[in-house]
């Protein structure tokens, strides 16, 4: 899990989850391959969640607005080819009165996209989605990796057990400067 921090090192904007890890299940040791990059569409950072994964691919869900309505875009990462592919988007349940919809659509040239992020922290620790950048999909639009902007980030592991219970590790503060990753502290 990764979040951008404010100037005081407090998590402010949740970027989401990734699954670029190496695991040693026998010894209970896990390494993240964090390289200071994150998912983007046409150079615009997006919030993303790991939906599922196999040995061959990782499937992400990316919340965004398409022409003003909140959708969840499925993006597949092919591990062998090291390539992303945008699949389809479905209308978010908040747009359908909580009723799940089965209809899906692809992004089309001319679609107006607004990236959506989750604001975290604050005095009462509330979270809320907010709109960030708006841009237009082109015929050659693509999902790719983008070097994170300079600043501080909080990193932690999220693990889920077979019952769906969540467990969080201690966090580590990371500094991005000129595309380079530096660790400010390690809290194990």
Query: What are the contacts of 8-12 at 24+ separation with CB within 8 A?
Result: 9/152, 9/154, 9/173, 9/184, 10/121, 11/120, 11/121, 11/154, 12/119, 12/120, 12/121
Per-residue pLDDT 10s for the chain (188 aa) are: 899 998 777 778 999 999 888 888 899 887 777 889 999 999 999 999 999 999 999 999 999 999 999 999 999 999 999 999 999 999 987 776 767 667 789 999 999 999 999 998 655 567 788 999 999 999 999 999 999 999 999 888 887 888 888 888 888 888 999 999 987 765 53
Cα 123 off chain centre by:
24
* pTM for this entry: 0.86
**CA–CA distance, 172 with 161 (Å, rounded to integer):** 22
- In sequence order, the β-bridge partners of residue 15 are none
pLDDT given for residue 142 in this prediction: 97
Give the pairing of strands 166-168 and 158-160.
Answer: antiparallel
């Amino acid at each position: 899990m990764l979040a951008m921090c404010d100037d005081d090192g407090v998590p402010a904007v949740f970027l989401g989850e990734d699954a670029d890890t190496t695991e040693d299940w026998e010894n209970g040791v896990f390494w993240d391959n964090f390289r200071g990059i994150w998912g983007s569409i046409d150079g615009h950072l997006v919030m993303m969640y790991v939906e599922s994964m196999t040995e061959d691919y990782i499937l992400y869900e990316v919340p965004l607005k398409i022409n003003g309505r909140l959708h969840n875009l499925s993006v597949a990462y092919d591990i062998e080819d090291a390539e992303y592919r945008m699949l389809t988007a479905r209308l978010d349940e908040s747009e359908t009165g909580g009723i799940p919809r089965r209809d899906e659509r692809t992004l089309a040239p001319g679609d107006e996209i607004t990236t959506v992020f989750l604001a975290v922290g604050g005095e009462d620790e509330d979270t809320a989605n907010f709109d960030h950048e708006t841009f237009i999909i082109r015929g050659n639009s693509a999902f790719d990796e983008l070097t994170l902007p300079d600043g501080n980030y909080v990193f932690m592991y999220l693990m889920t057990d077979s019952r769906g219970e969540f467990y969080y590790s201690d966090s580590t503060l990371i500094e991005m400067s000129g595309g380079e990753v530096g660790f400010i502290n390690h809290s194990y």
